[in-house]
């Protein structure tokens, strides 16, 4: 098991962690199998999406903001209810195949850490399961 540190700089931010996941797999010595990536935070998540056009990430964050606006008259006193809801919609874990010591992704895909209540110092846990 490896831990990846993810510093974020904005309240809502998608951080490409694909290279860090690959480094974690190399450190674990797993060349074939699967990896599980988990975010132990209630206001952050993980997703796989396009990394070629930054407008895709901008569009996804815009869509999530429309679905769950920051100021929606929520009851949670900390003022970050929207972040909790967005994290629930996106999800807190991914399972990805591993081949050649790298995550198996499509041509345009990347693994993104999704920050919904930043800026913060976050972490992801990568567990490699050999074939």
Provide the pLDDT confidence category of residue 57 given band limits of 50, 70 and 90: very high
Residue-range domains of the chain with CATH: 2-130 (2.60.120.460)
What is the tens place of the pLDDT at every residue in 21-33?
A: 999 999 999 999 9
**Would you state the pLDDT for residue 116?**
98
- Report how far residue 105's alpha carbon sits from residue 49's, in angstroms, rounded to the nearest whole number: 10
Contacting residues for 112 by C-beta, under 8 A, at least 6 apart: 14, 15, 16, 17, 46, 47, 48, 49, 57
Q: What is the 3-state secondary structure (H, E, C) of 23-81?
A: HHHHHHCCCEEEEEEECCCCCEEEEEEECCCHHHHHHHHHHHHHHCCCCCCCCCCCCCH
Return the bridge partners of 93, or none.
38
Provide mean pLDDT across the span 57-71.
Answer: 95
pTM exceeds 0.75, yes or no = yes
Which 3 state secondary structure label does DSSP give 19? helix
**Would you state the pLDDT for residue 123?**
97
Average pLDDT, the chain: 96
């Amino acid at each position: 098991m490896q831990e990846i540190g993810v510093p974020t700089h904005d309240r809502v931010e998608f951080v490409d962690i694909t290279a860090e996941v690959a480094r974690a797999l190399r450190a674990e010595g797993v060349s074939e199998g699967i990896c599980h990536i988990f975010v132990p935070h209630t206001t952050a998540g993980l997703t796989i999406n396009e990394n070629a056009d930054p407008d895709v990430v901008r569009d996804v964050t815009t869509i999530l903001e429309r679905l769950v606006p920051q100021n929606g008259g929520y009851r949670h006193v900390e003022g970050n209810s929207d972040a909790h809801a967005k994290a629930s919609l996106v999800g807190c874990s991914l399972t990805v195949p591993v081949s050649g010591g790298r995550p198996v992704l499509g041509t345009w895909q990347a693994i993104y850490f999704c920050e919904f209540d930043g800026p913060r110092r976050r972490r992801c846990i990568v567990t490699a399961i050999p074939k």
